[in-house]
Amino acid sequence: MNTNRPKILVVDDTPANLVAMRRLLARADADIFEAASGNEALALCLDHQFALVLLDVNMPEMDGFEVAQFISETDHLSETPIIFVTAAYADDINRIKGYTAGAVDYIAKPINDVILQSKVKIFLELYRARALLQQALDELSLRNQQLTTEVAERTRMEQLVRHQATHDALTGLPNRTLFRDRLEDAIAVGDAEGGSFALAYIDIDGFKGVNDGHGHAAGDALLKAIAGRLDSRTRESDTVARLGGDEFAVLLNDAADAQSALARCQTLCDAIAEPYTLEVNGSRLAVTIGASIGVTLFIPGDAYDRIVAAADTAMYDAKRSGKNRCVFG
């Protein structure tokens, strides 16, 4: 039996009627199933998807109305078309009862071969059309899922590319490009709304000795540890960036005056100076470094170059005056 062909279920408790129906349906392009009772019919319906059920009404134990009612009220069977085949219940009241139970049509006994073949043909064509439509919908759903996945992956890749373009690959901090954007935005807001902020430039004292003496893996581990300390000791509204090498910058929002800016920078300086225990190639390495920090305040009307130069100059003043300290400029 071809599993791809439509299936028709014939339900009748009289063997002779089943034989007759089998003969009448011999030319139908469908696989024919037979049931001699309502219970047998329901069992077959649960195991197969039928394009059409030809159902005798007058059966013992469970009549056709009850079988049709069960089929129409079962979710995955409710779309199965049912035609009552009967010599009885031909009056309007029983026809209405049959339609209410879920039947879509009646065929009277004795069966007219032409009428039966015509109606069966129509329902088989409807079944095939619905199957094709479902196949198209399934393919469309699959394609939509594929497109959704592709769009999500493309979005993820675009976000990754944007992140890589604006963030330091080693530490994950904003890079020089993103920091400049943030600083220019802060200047624009400060000019428009009168806000205050400070800019700190940080150069690590002793980094070269660690990097040269213990290798680049140690230097990289140290830079990541420094980035973590800076990030954990600044506010969410601040911006910590790695400008390159062992140079960092911090945009400190809401720094009202030089004293408060220096106090916040001293916190960063103290954090960086705390001893480190680095995991390098399976070994633990203890190192101690310091930081020279130059900090300056935003002044309304400031240009990007002026405030950057002021912070950079103050940082070099910190290095020249003994390192591991904060200098305001």
pLDDT tens series, the chain, 329 aa:
555 789 999 988 889 888 888 898 888 889 999 999 888 988 898 889 898 989 888 787 787 788 888 887 777 887 888 888 877 555 555 566 655 655 678 787 788 888 888 888 888 888 888 888 988 999 999 999 999 999 999 999 999 888 899 999 999 999 999 999 999 999 999 888 877 899 999 999 999 999 999 999 999 999 999 999 999 999 999 999 999 999 999 999 988 889 999 999 999 999 999 999 999 988 999 999 999 999 999 988 888 999 999 999 999 999 999 999 999 98
* Number of C-beta neighbours around residue 224 at 10 A: 16
Question: For 239, which DSSP code?
Answer: E
pLDDT at 187: 92
The Cα-based distances of 326 to 20, 62, 85, 308 in angstroms read 104, 94, 98, 16
Q: Is the pTM of this model over 0.85?
A: no
With contact defined as beta carbons under 8 Å apart, do 97 and 65 qualify? yes
For 109-126, b/e burial (b = at least 16 CB within 10 A) is eebeeeebeebbeebbee
pLDDT at 93: 54
**Do β-strands 290-297 and 197-205 pair in parallel, antiparallel, or remain unpaired?**
antiparallel
Question: For 76, which DSSP code?
Answer: G
pLDDT at 209: 94
* Number of C-beta neighbours around residue 212 at 10 A: 11
With contact defined as beta carbons under 8 Å apart, do 66 and 38 qualify? yes
With contact defined as beta carbons under 8 Å apart, do 222 and 216 qualify? no
**Do β-strands 52-56 and 7-11 pair in parallel, antiparallel, or remain unpaired?**
parallel
Phi, psi of 321 (to 5 degrees): -95, 10
Q: Rounded CA gap, 62 and 56, in Å?
A: 11
pLDDT at 99: 59
The Cα-based distances of 173 to 12, 120, 210, 256 in angstroms read 78, 72, 21, 25
pLDDT at 105: 80
At residue 248, the 3 state secondary structure works out as strand
Q: Which amino acid is at 72?
A: S
Q: Is 282 left (phi over 0), alpha (psi -120 to 50) or beta?
A: left
Phi, psi of 51 (to 5 degrees): -75, -25
pLDDT at 291: 96
For residue 224, what are its two tokens? 């990541």
Q: Which amino acid is at 60?
A: P
With contact defined as beta carbons under 8 Å apart, do 245 and 254 qualify? no
The reply to whether 246 belongs to the active site is yes
**19-22 CB contacts, 8 Å cutoff, 24+ apart:** 20/111, 21/54, 21/85, 21/111
With contact defined as beta carbons under 8 Å apart, do 304 and 238 qualify? no
pLDDT at 84: 85
Annotated active-site residue in 168, 246, 302, 312? 246
